[in-house]
Chains A and B, each alone.
Chain A
Amino acid sequence: MSKTSRTSITMPATAKKDSIIEIRAIAQHDMESGFRYTEGGKLIPRDIIRTFTCTYNNVEVFKADFYSGIGANPLIIFTTIAVESGTLEFRWAGDDGYEAVNQSHITVS
């Protein structure tokens, strides 16, 4: 897996104050479990995303730990409360120095 990869965020660009917004975050990643062998019998080293965090104007609002059982190209759907206008930052970090960052802006009225 390359050290960076494509990610995609789907969330509303605008929201009413104190309403619940749904956020979808998907990352392109093979999620090699570390339990598989090559045809030659050699163990394929584990290469997975370990953590996913979402910060909302630098306040952490969601965090997930990933393990070997999670499939490729993991999709996370979660909700948060639209408290103020600003930026949501999404960060995926994993084995072999993998890191991907994505941002999305929201206007709260």
Chain B
Amino acid sequence: MLASLISMGAAKAVPPSQQSSYELMSAENKAMQDDPSLNPAMFWVGDGESLWQQKVGPQSKSCSACHGDAKKSMRGVATQYPKVIKGKLQTLEGQINQCRVGAQSVPALAYESKDLLALTAFIAFQSKGMPITVSESSANAPFMKKGRQTFYERMGQLNLSCAQCHEDRAGLKLGGSPIPQGHPNAYPIYRLEWQTLGSVQRRLRNCMSGVRAQQFEYGSPEMAQLELFLMWRARGLPLESPGVRP
């Protein structure tokens, strides 16, 4: 049963026409995302820009000490994550923390902390408008396989898979709200419901609690694998980061 679901899914993994959930938003919310003077997430981008220059740790090293001008060095970077680096599948947040621990000798930032969201938003913002370029390779194939499996696997007390809503029923409604295709092409997002910025992992945990499933931990390998599959599924869609969602 599971095997048939997976093989069926593999064929369907690319929706006939990809649609960003931006298209499902009201004109007001679209304007909020598009206009930097209305988009509250731009505060985090500003904070991230300051953090990029901030010298931290025993060597008093800033992000820019290695990476220079983010406008050049970080352009397009967010479109490639999650990425296999030295055999480990790394998300953008994971890589920021890897740099902090490895190169700056300071403790990793907590998931959903203001600083980590700010740096992620600042880096993702450098790729705004560029298409997602995650592709399947021999290096990421095993992770992709696990991510795909999670996507088509029923979970939780409601016994639902991601695909049952975001593939089979995308475009229909759940209660009064439209069901999006579930592409992670605008993260981190300022979600009006949250009243703050949040990562794609926070959003995924949302759905998991919605189907009454055990949530994957922040920064866990399972999260990274699912994120990888979702980014591959959304390949070609332009990044909207930082997005606004209702």
Contact = CB atoms under 8 A, between A and B. Distances in A.
Contacts of A10: 37
Interface string B47-64: 100000000000000000
Interface in A39-70: none
Interface in B23-53: 37-38, 40, 42-43, 46-47
A26 B195 contact: no
A71 B192 CA distance: 9
A24 B196 contact: no
Nearest to B192: A71
18 contacts: A6-B43, A6-B47, A8-B37, A8-B42, A8-B43, A24-B37, A24-B38, A26-B37, A26-B38, A26-B40, A30-B196, A71-B192, A71-B195, A72-B40, A73-B43, A73-B195, A75-B38, A75-B40
B125 to A, nearest CB: 15
A31 B40 CA distance: 13
Contacts of B40: 26, 28, 72-73, 75
Given A30-B195, A73-B195, 12 more contacts: A6-B47, A8-B43, A10-B37, A24-B38, A26-B37, A26-B40, A30-B196, A31-B195, A71-B192, A72-B196, A73-B43, A75-B38
A72 B38 contact: no
A10 B32 CA distance: 14
Contacts of A31: 195
Nearest to B196: A72
B195 A72 contact: yes
Contact of A6 (B37, B46, B196): B46
A24 B192 CA distance: 19
A31 B179 CA distance: 30
